[in-house]
Amino acid sequence: MSSIKNAFYAQSGGVTSVINASACGVIQTARAHTDKIGTVYAGLNGIIGALQEELIDTAFETDDAIASLRYTPAGAFGSCRYKLKSLEANRSEYERLIAVFKAHNIGYFFYNGGGDSQDTAHKVAQMGEQMGYPVTCIGVPKTVDNDLPVTDTCAGFGSVAKYVAVSMREASFDVASMCATSTKVFVMEVMGRHAGWIAAAGALAADETHDIPLVILFPEVKFDLAKFLGAVDEKVKHYGYCCVVVSEGVKDANGQFLAEAGGKDAFGHAQLGGAAPVIANLIKDNLGYKYHWAVSDYLQRAARHIASKTDIEQAYAVGKAAVDFALAGKNAVMPTIVRLSDAPYQWEIGSVALKDVANVEKMMPPDFISADGFHITPACRAYLQPLIEGEDYPPYHKGLPNYGVLKKQLVEKKLPEFVV
Amino acid sequence: MSSIKNAFYAQSGGVTSVINASACGVIQTARAHTDKIGTVYAGLNGIIGALQEELIDTAFETDDAIASLRYTPAGAFGSCRYKLKSLEANRSEYERLIAVFKAHNIGYFFYNGGGDSQDTAHKVAQMGEQMGYPVTCIGVPKTVDNDLPVTDTCAGFGSVAKYVAVSMREASFDVASMCATSTKVFVMEVMGRHAGWIAAAGALAADETHDIPLVILFPEVKFDLAKFLGAVDEKVKHYGYCCVVVSEGVKDANGQFLAEAGGKDAFGHAQLGGAAPVIANLIKDNLGYKYHWAVSDYLQRAARHIASKTDIEQAYAVGKAAVDFALAGKNAVMPTIVRLSDAPYQWEIGSVALKDVANVEKMMPPDFISADGFHITPACRAYLQPLIEGEDYPPYHKGLPNYGVLKKQLVEKKLPEFVV
């Protein structure tokens, strides 16, 4: 075995339009330090790739292919929704990870994900120590939900925020055009099952030169039908139309997701999903206004074509910092974004111990939501504004973004099969 | 009254991300010929503005404001869904239009819309003759549905096509990342109640370097559940995932819109709209695959941020040509796009008599849909490809497109009120 250890990198959970920019930061930085880091292996479909010894050898990818990751959305190596159990509940999984790492001379573990992933990375670090095969474990923050603690924001959030703000500004122009004789209310559903960060970004559609009537439904605020209808009606009476942003996580008075309020369709099947159509129907039935509704779903988190330049720079920076940290001898930490000032926006890379990140959710602070519960406060705007700034367009070919496609050459397996 | 006649311009029907580029073409060209055309008045909310004598005096808009129309989505002067009845059924409306035109010395009528609008423009031309107040009536083609005859394409379609293709390519990267443990089918609903042009554009997401498993549901093809499930299942088994584009106009075996197959929700209200959730539920119930679905609705036709440069150039060109035609003494015509070659794409402005456009719908030719009914043919791709080419980004301010906002100063009324 060479004394130069290889690295393992994996993408975890729901992907974003910039998680590959973090991968680009990891791999390019590792390639710049071949005296200290050998090959970067990427897990095929995340941590499952490590457990099943399905390791993509990134050495087969050209420098151009790795550079294309910076502008390619989603998880180029595949991601997975798979949370390792606790050390007590399933020690064998951790032992298997260490065995795979040992078999492929892997001494660095870079795990690109949200809170659960940071928890896993933390446990792998502990397990390596216990088993006498120490692994340097560095988390790389990622989540459109913006719910990781300590860090100012999470790579992925700024771009989905920009998508939502741009889309709502554009749709508002459409509704304003149509409202004299047709649609008066437009409802757009956005992601965010627990926290209203993405819904809040919809408020950025309006600014000092774009006076757009908006009503925002946050998951943090219990849905009050009468109050909501009153807010919408007031906007329609004043402006002629109203735009509603509804978080998928909004719950009714009984604590049930609005999105699950659907009944059965004509085929006799349960209607699942869609807070927007539920809201739209409530408006029509109670106020009689013609509506349109949109659910952007994956489009919002995959929209690399309109990603935030700030977000991409931060996504790359946390990937690069993860490798720099490892080279500097740090362990069981995650790079963070530290905000130095709002305007002009200045930030630098910080660091936090994985044990302080794992399983902590950052919710919207109460002073970010207006007293009526339907808008954001100036403090929230000051926080959000810089995160959506800057454009960073991908290259186009024949009218479409020419996103990168990797070879994904797998390393030969050395161990017996492992069933996940 | 001055011998130099003023012009009236109005936007009609569902707006697009480039209809204001046509307005820009009309007004800038008129401003370049003040020796022949006086003021351009724009109808507030379309033809209703003419009937109610609510005329926006565009002379109050600066040259910069008019230039901003080129990159501002939706209808800057307001649009309306209002179809004038036949001359026999409601002669008084036509008489009113002529009266308003006479009162404001309007000798040119530029009507920016779809098939119905071209019909109206044609009738106004006839009525002016009959009433001894001849008005030069020129149609300006517009519709995301791409269903106007004679013209190669309609201003507005190329941009919605580009939005759909870009969005589907991006979402496909997302699903491909997630499919090992989570979402296997992604369903995206697009506009097009009668014709499948927009759905067809989803097929452009895949190309020689992006092998994306797609199934497209066209309104032209009767929905066959078993065949559809078979097509999806085959893709999932081969690729691990599948992307479905469903037109809002798809109908079931009984001729009912799938989007109207919803039952009642938990509030007891009829569920209206959404072919995508119906399709998604059918997949889950019959194949058991985890799904996600999106309905982009107004977002697709308002998405100026990702508009097709080709489309914008054509939208501007038909606006400019409308004024050029009027100055050349033509009447009751509409500028068209004439395709000279597919690759390289070459086109020029042509002309068609309004009577040959009115009330004719251009459907997808049968040889544009594959034999299995779920894909497009090479002929269709050759037709669609150039229409989405080129990017033309709007200016940004603080992370968002800085779309234009007009003064919309109304002219003083001279006539008694008219109730629409």
Residue B290 burial (C-beta neighbours within 10 Å; 0-12, 13-18, 19+): middle
CB pair distance less than 8 Å for A269 and B262: no
- A248 Cα to chain B: minimum distance (Å): 13
B60: left (phi over 0), alpha (psi -120 to 50) or beta: alpha
User: Is 70 exceeded by the pLDDT of residue B414?
Assistant: yes
**pLDDT surpassing 80 at residue B269:** no
pLDDT value at residue B89: 85
Report the run of H or E that residue B413 belongs to, with start and end: none
C-beta of residue A55 within 8 angstroms of C-beta of residue A78: no
The amino acid occupying position A413 is K
- What is the rounded average pLDDT of the residues B296-309? 98
pLDDT at B361 over 90: no
- Going by C-alpha positions, the residue among A155, A165, A276, A213 that lies closest to residue B305 is A165
Contact B177 A308 (CB under 8 A): no
When pLDDT is cut at 50, 70 and 90, the band that residue B152 belongs to is very high
Put simply, whether B314 touches A (Cβ < 8 Å) is: no
Residues A192 and A311 in one domain: no
pLDDT value for A140: 98
Locate all alpha helices (DSSP H) within A39-111, ordered by sequence: 47-51, 63-68, 91-103
Task: For residue A145, indicate whether it is catalytic.
Answer: yes
Residues B97 and B183 in one domain: no
Q: Give the model's pLDDT for residue B416.
A: 96
What's residue B279's pLDDT? 95
Residue A186 forms part of a structural domain = yes
Q: Phi-psi region for residue B332, left (φ > 0), alpha (ψ -120 to 50) or beta?
A: left
Report the pLDDT value the prediction gives residue B1, as an integer from 0 to 100. Answer: 52
Q: What is the enclosing helix (H) or strand (E) of A252?
A: none
- Of B302, B322, B338, which one is at a domain's C-terminal end? B302
For residue A340, the SS3 value is strand
Q: What is the residue whose two structure tokens read 């071209």?
A: B118
DSSP code string of B33-51: TTTTEEEEEEETTTHHHHH
> Is B116 within a domain?
yes
Residues in chain A with CB shorter than 8 Å from the CB of B210 are 403, 405
B287 assigned to some structural domain: yes
Integer Cα distance of B316 and B66 in angstroms: 12
Q: What is the mean pLDDT of residues B365-375?
A: 97
Please check whether residue A343 touches B, CB under 8 A: no
Supply the pLDDT for residue A84.
86
Min distance A128 CA to chain B CA atoms (Å): 26
Residues A101 and A230 in one domain: no
Q: How does pLDDT run across B100-135, given as a tens digit for each residue?
A: 999 999 999 999 999 989 999 999 999 999 999 999
Residue B263 has pLDDT above 70, yes or no: no
Report which of B84, B2, B67, B71 is spatially closest to residue B31, judged by C-alpha positions: B67
H helical segments located in B1-114: 19-31, 47-51, 63-68, 91-103
pLDDT bucket at B160, cuts 50 / 70 / 90: very high
- Check: CB of residue B157 under 8 Å from CB of residue B372: no
Residue A312 shares a structural domain with residue A222:
no
CB within 8 A of A74, min separation 6: which ones? A15, A16, A17, A19, A20, A302, B170, B173, B174, B176, B177
Of B272, B271, B292, B294, nearest to B283 by C-alpha is B292
Is A370 part of a structural domain of the chain?
no
Q: What pTM, to 2 d.p., does this model score?
A: 0.97
Band of the pLDDT at B267, cuts 50, 70, 90?
A: low
Q: How many domains does chain A have?
A: 2
B194 alpha-carbon distance from chain centroid: 13
Q: Which domain holds residue A114?
A: 5-142+304-359+390-401
Statement: residue B346 has pLDDT above 60: yes
Q: Do B287 and B308 sit in the same domain of this protein?
A: no
B186 lies in a domain? yes
Residues A14 and A88 in one domain: yes
Give residue A254's pLDDT: 86
Predicted confidence (pLDDT) per residue in B137-149, tens digit: 999 999 999 999 9
Q: Which residues of B touch A144 (CB under 8 A)?
A: none
The pLDDT of residue B358 is 82
Does B139 lie in the same domain as B16?
A: yes
Q: Identify whether B385 is part of a domain.
A: no
> Hey, what are B145's tokens?
């549905």
pLDDT for the residue numbered B353: 97
Q: How far is A230 from chain B (nearest CA, A)?
A: 18
Residues B29 and B130 in one domain: yes
User: What percentage of chain A exceeds 90 in pLDDT?
Assistant: 88
Contact B144, B200 (CB under 8 A): no
Residue A114 is part of a domain; what is its CATH number?
A: 3.40.50.450
DSSP readout, A191-249?
A: --SS--HHHHHGGGG-BTTB---EEEE-TTS---HHHHHHHHHHHHHHHS-EEEEEETT
Q: Which residue spans within A153-205 are E strands per DSSP?
A: 185-190
Taking chain A (420 residues) in runs of 10, the rounded mean pLDDT of each run is: 88 97 98 97 97 98 98 97 85 94 98 93 93 96 95 97 98 97 96 94 97 97 96 98 96 86 55 81 95 96 98 98 98 98 96 91 94 98 98 98 98 94
Chain B hits for A173, CB-CB cut-off 8 Å, are 72-74, 302, 403
Assess whether B330 and B319 both reside in one domain. Answer: yes
B283 plus B344 within the same structural domain: no
CB contact under 8 A, A170 and B277: no
Rounded percentage of chain B residues whose pLDDT exceeds 90: 88
Closest residue to A262, CB basis, from B165, B265, B302: B265
Number of CB pairs, chain A paired with chain B, less than 8 A apart:
284
Provide the pLDDT for residue B88. Answer: 84
B308 with B298, same domain: the answer is: no
Q: Which residue of B has its CA nearest to A176?
A: B78
Instruction: Assign residue A182 the CATH number of its domain.
Output: 3.40.50.460
The pLDDT value given to residue A420: 80
DSSP state of A69: G
3-state secondary structure of B153: coil
By Cβ distance, the residue of A177, A209, A266 closest to B405 is: A209
Interface list for A 186-215 with B (CB within 8 A): 186, 188, 204-205, 207, 209-210
Decide if pLDDT at B24 tops 80: yes
pLDDT of A17-48, one tens digit each? 999 999 999 999 999 999 999 999 999 999 99
pLDDT of residue A259: 83
What pLDDT does A175 receive? 98
User: Nearest Cβ partner of B302 from A170, A210, A265?
Assistant: A170
- The verdict on A123 and A205 lying in the same domain is no
